Amino acid sequence: MFTLANPKHFMAASGKILPWLAAVTAVLFAAGLTLALSVPPDYQQGDAVRIMFLHVPAAWVAMMAYGLMALAAAAGLILRQPLADVAVKTAAPLGAVFTALGLITGSLWGRPMWGAFWVWDGRLTSFLLLLFLYLGVMALGNAIEDETRAARAAGILAIVGAVNLPIIHFSVTWWTTLHQGASILKKGGPAIAPVFLWPLAVMALAYTMLFVTLWIVRIRTTILERKAAVLRITGRA
Amino acid sequence: MSALRRLVARDLVLAIRAGGGAALALAFFAAVATLVPLGVGPDLKLLVRIAAGVLWVAAVLAALLSLDRLFQADFEDGSLDLMALSPLSLEAVALAKIAAHWLSTGLPLTLIAAVLAVAYGLPASGTVALVASLLIGTPAVSAIGGIGAALTLSIRRGGLILPFIVLPLIAPVVIFGSGAVLAELDGLANGALWFLAAFSLLAVALSPFAAAAGVRLNLGS
């Protein structure tokens, strides 16, 4: 774990596993999308239920990405690990995209089901705030010139903002307005038919692997960019 | 303890005297609260419903106006370095500055809001709920804003980025603050004030640590 935090070791190890990660992601998406399109239409929602397979995993990964980013930020602050700083900075835009994807697919699903693209419901509002938190971390990281300071400042904001995660998770219990309550992780097992559960699980895995793959690519790119910048400054390029 | 009190008193004097901006924040609050009825029309039924939301949003924006200089002025003239070297911990410095900001902004805003609430046609019970929610909630605005001010103190255009990074964190205060008033108006069980109090206590207790970490980072020590 700690030897991996050395950028040199990280580059070597991640370079080896990256093609495999990308391949697994592609296979999972192919399998997940095939399954998602082959399930029978829902007895109430019809074919619109298929939006679930794009929406729910995006929302999950958006929250998981924030949790990982906050953990990386804590590691960066406590262990003073430059690699953790890079991980925070690169996770924010990815998380923002998954959050936006969750919001967009959600509103496209809400239109036929609820009759509105958007409602000011607890889950939707707290999820919109998650997007703003991601954008705030990105803005703060870009506004400070010194790389290390920028990453640490963004890290503190990321950690403080993590209070929003439990609010999002429990929002459907606290404000019972329109978004449905917990359907998968709940007492007495999932309240969703097994035919729908399997494609959902595969898609969740596919989204997670996509995030991990893109995260590693971005971390590698940032390390390479910094190397290039150093070479340029020292005149060796 | 006396050093802490002195720091609060110094910051209060600086905020209240010319150039401090505390009075400007209050004027801004009153101006925004006056502009809304001109925009949406003088229908009192509508104004009663939106009073709490408008006054809460205006109060948060007014508080944010004066927040960006919370640490920046002392950072620029070097006072912040001296405070960092003093026996007082940076956490205590942050707490003192947050307290001074609340005393010079949050508290007077609450008092002015009581008058404006009457102008919006809020009944007495609603006004009491609004004043209580502002009294309980504005310390959290100052505290969370203090984190943002500390993180952005070295950025030249920090005044633009500060509201953006702080508003998502302050949103619960606005939700429960105005929610408490609406619940009172509708005669519903009012748990919002308790939730607001819990959030505010947590924010005031923990923010000085995050703000001090932000200051330390920007002082480069």
Encode pLDDT of B100-112 as tens digits. 999 999 999 999 9
Q: How confident is the model at residue A205 (pLDDT cuts 50, 70, 90)?
A: very high
Whether residue A19 is contained in a domain is answered as: no
Place of tokens 């960019």: A225
Tokens of B216: 């330390």
Dihedral sign, Cα of residue A113, residue A114, residue A119, residue A120: negative
> CA separation (Å) from A138 to A73, A111, A153, B154, B194?
13, 30, 11, 17, 33
Distance CA B27, CA A109 (A): 45
Percentage of the residues of chain A whose pLDDT score is greater than 90: 44
- Do the Cβ atoms of B217 and A152 come within 8 Å? yes
Tell me the mean pLDDT in the region A204-209.
Answer: 94
Q: Which residues of B touch A143 (CB under 8 A)?
A: 152, 155, 157-158, 161
pLDDT > 90? residue B189: no
Looking at residue A123, its pLDDT comes to 81
pLDDT per residue as tens digits for the range B163-173: 999 999 999 89
Per-residue pLDDT for A212 more than 90? yes
pLDDT value for B54: 94
Q: How confident is the model at residue A39 (pLDDT cuts 50, 70, 90)?
A: confident
**Of residues B67 and A45, which shows the higher confidence score?**
B67
| Non-local CB neighbours of A156 within 8 Å, separated by 6+ positions | A73, A77, B147, B151, B210, B213, B214, B217
Rounded CA-CA distance A75/A67 in Å is 12
Residue B149 pLDDT > 70: yes
User: Is A127 a residue whose pLDDT tops 70?
Assistant: yes
Q: Is the pLDDT of residue B29 over 60?
A: yes
A139 and B165 in contact by Cβ < 8 A? yes
Question: What is the maximum alpha-carbon separation in chain B?
Answer: 57
Q: What is the pLDDT of residue A90?
A: 93
Q: Which domain holds residue B173?
A: 2-219
Query: Does A74 touch chain B if contact means CB atoms closer than 8 Å?
Result: no
Name the minimum distance, in Å, from the CA of B220 to any CA of chain A.
Answer: 8
Report yes or no on A23 lying in a domain: no
Give the nearest partner residue to B217 out of A133, A139, A149, using CB atoms: A149
Q: What is the pLDDT of residue B166?
A: 92
pLDDT band of A177, cuts 50, 70, 90: low
Rounded to 5 degrees, what are φ and ψ at B31? -65, -45
- Total domains, chain A: 1
If one compares A194 and A191, the residue with the highest pLDDT of the two is A194
B21: alpha, beta or left? (left if phi > 0; alpha if psi -120 to 50): left
A104 touches chain B (CB under 8 A): no
Q: Is residue A188 part of a domain?
A: yes
Residue A176's pLDDT is: 60
Cα–Cα distances in angstroms (integers) from residue B73 to residues A135, B147, B221, in the given order: 27, 16, 19
- CA-to-CA dists, residue A135 to A66, B20, B161, angstroms: 12, 30, 11
Q: Is residue A182 part of a domain?
A: yes
* Residue A13 maps to a domain: no
User: Does A143 sit within 8 Å of B151, measured CB to CB?
Assistant: no
Residue A130 — pLDDT band, cuts 50, 70, 90? Answer: very high
A48-57, A208-217, B130-139: segment of lowest average pLDDT: A48-57
DSSP state of A42: B
Partners of B213 on chain A (C-beta within 8 Å) are 77, 156
pLDDT at B221 over 60: no
Compute the average pLDDT of residues A122-130. 86
How far apart are the C-alpha atoms of B183 and B123, rounded to whole Å?
13
d(CA A6, CA B123): 64
A98 versus A38: which is more confidently predicted?
A98
Residue at A27 is within a domain:
no
pLDDT the model gives residue A189: 64
Query: For residue A237, is pLDDT > 60?
Result: no
Q: Tell me the three state secondary structure of residue B108.
A: helix
Q: Rounded to an integer, what distance in angstroms lies between the CA atom of residue B21 and that of residue B138? A: 17
pLDDT band at A173 (very low <50, low <70, confident <90, very high): low
Instruction: Check whether A1 has a pLDDT greater than 60.
Output: no
Question: What's the pLDDT score for residue A175?
Answer: 66
**Any chain A CB within 8 A of the CB of B147?**
yes
Contacts of A144 in chain B (CB under 8 A): 154-155
CB-neighbour burial class of residue B73 (10 A; exposed 0-12, middle 13-18, buried 19+): middle
Q: Report d(CA A71, CA A63) in Å as an integer.
A: 12
Q: Looking at residue A190, what is its pLDDT?
A: 67
Pairwise pLDDT comparison (A60 vs A110), residue with the higher score? A60
Cα radius of gyration (chain B) = 18
Comparing CA positions, the residue from B209, B203, B217 lying closest to residue A77 is B217
Q: What pLDDT, on the 0 to 100 scale, is given for residue B1?
A: 61
| Residue A82: domain span | 48-230
pLDDT tens, position by position, A44-99 = 777 778 888 899 999 999 999 999 999 999 998 898 888 888 999 999 999 999 99
Residue A30 placed within a domain: no
**Structural domain count, chain B:** 1
Residue B3's pLDDT is 87
Residues found in chain A: 237
Residue closest to A215 by CA, chosen among A48, A44, A74, A89: A89
**Residue A21, in any domain of the structure:** no
Report chain B residues whose CB lies below 8 A from the CB of A153. Answer: 151-152, 214, 217-218
The dihedral through the CA atoms of B201, B203, B208, B210 has a sign that is positive
- Residue range B6-27: average pLDDT? 85
Q: Check if the beta carbon of residue A155 is closer than 8 Å to that of residue A73.
A: yes
